[in-house]
């Protein structure tokens, strides 16, 4: 028997655990790898969302930017395209204005036609999340990258009672540092170099500084003590 949880959305709660809930995905994008272009029109996107609800979806997740392989992401607060790497294999990121233009009409119209619908927004941009919540989305936190990185670093250290020793880059603390090939919040970025307590222990381009995957538990490299 699974534990029962109640997810507080503010105006109501969702019960989790008694049965499996389904989230229906609506990509309001021209270039998503699975259904890009099929629902880029707001009316078609809303009709598809209603179809998903009638087929048993509990939550409708609306997204306005593809995260398929080979896509750049825009730093928050900066315009898209201006600082994107020049590469034929990469597309320019979607601006905040364009993402809002795509998702907000869908959220508003779906909420008008199906007031009971639970809508989430799929975005990494705080301003888009905030606008989506104002338009009727109930799931989607306006979280900045500064806040998000704290969830992954100093907050876990605090929970373990070790925040005076690790969890942030401060004088006198022990720290592990990862240099990424791109935005660390993108699943398509790769670690470039890793330092543990100041020592370089991984270099993606140096064959002598390679480590096996974390999933191979118990593996000890022969060149390490």
Confidence grade of residue 75 (pLDDT, cut at 50, 70, 90): low
**Residue 68 or 151, more confident:** 151
Q: Which residues contact 100 (CB under 8 A, 6 or more apart)?
A: 64, 127, 128, 131
Q: Is the predicted pLDDT of residue 123 greater than 80, yes or no?
A: yes
Q: Is 49 a residue whose pLDDT tops 90?
A: yes
**Reduced 3-state DSSP string for 158-220:** HHCCCCCCCCCCCCCCCCEEEEECCCCCCCCCCEEEEEECCEEEEECCCHHHCCCCCCCCCCC
**Model confidence at 70, in pLDDT bands (50, 70, 90)?**
low
> Rounded distance, CA 6 to CA 37, Å?
36
Residue 47 has pLDDT above 90, yes or no: yes
| 8 Å CB contact between 202 and 221 | no
pTM of the entire predicted model: 0.63
Residue 212 in this model has a pLDDT that exceeds 80: no
Q: Give residue 114's pLDDT band: very low, low, confident or very high (50, 70, 90).
A: very high
Distance separating alpha carbons of residues 116 and 103, to the nearest angstrom = 18
> pLDDT-based confidence at 31, cuts 50/70/90?
confident
Beta strands in the chain (DSSP E): 5-8, 13-16, 23-27, 59-63, 118-122, 176-180, 191-196, 199-203
Q: pLDDT value at position 10?
A: 83
State what percent of residues in the chain have pLDDT above 70. Answer: 80
CB-based contacts of 187, cutoff 8 Å, min separation 6: 67
Q: What is the DSSP letter of 10?
A: S
For the stretch 149-162, pLDDT in tens is 888 888 888 888 88
Euclidean distance between CA atoms 81 and 84, whole angstroms: 5
Least confident window among 63-72, 77-86, 159-168 = 77-86
pLDDT in the model for residue 81: 43
Report the half-sphere exposure of 65 (CA within 13 A, side-chain side): 26
Q: Which pLDDT score, from 0 to 100, does residue 80 have? A: 46
Confidence of residue 177 (pLDDT cuts 50, 70, 90): confident
**pLDDT confidence tier of residue 92, bands split at 50, 70 and 90:** low
């Amino acid at each position: 028997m699974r534990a029962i949880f109640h997810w507080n959305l503010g105006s109501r709660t969702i019960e989790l655990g008694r049965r499996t809930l389904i989230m229906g995905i609506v990509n309001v994008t021209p270039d998503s790898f699975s259904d890009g272009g099929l629902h880029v029109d707001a009316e078609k996107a809303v009709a598809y969302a209603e179809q998903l609800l009638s087929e048993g979806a509990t939550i409708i997740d609306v997204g306005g930017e593809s995260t398929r392989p080979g896509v750049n992401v825009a730093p928050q607060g900066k315009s898209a395209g201006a600082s994107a790497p020049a590469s034929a294999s990469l597309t320019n990121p979607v601006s905040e204005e364009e993402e809002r233009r795509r998702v907000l009409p869908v959220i508003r119209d779906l909420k008008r036609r199906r007031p009971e619908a639970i809508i989430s927004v799929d975005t990494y941009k705080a301003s888009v999340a905030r606008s989506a919540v104002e338009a009727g989305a109930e799931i989607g936190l306006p979280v900045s990258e500064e806040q998000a990185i704290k969830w992954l670093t100093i907050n876990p250290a605090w929970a373990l009672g070790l925040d005076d020793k690790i969890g942030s880059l401060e004088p006198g603390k022990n720290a592990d540092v990862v240099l990424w090939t791109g935005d660390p919040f993108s699943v398509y970025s790769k670690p470039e170099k890793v330092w543990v307590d100041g020592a370089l222990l991984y270099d993606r381009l140096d064959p002598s500084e390679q480590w096996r995957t974390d999933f191979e538990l118990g593996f000890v490299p022969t060149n390490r003590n």
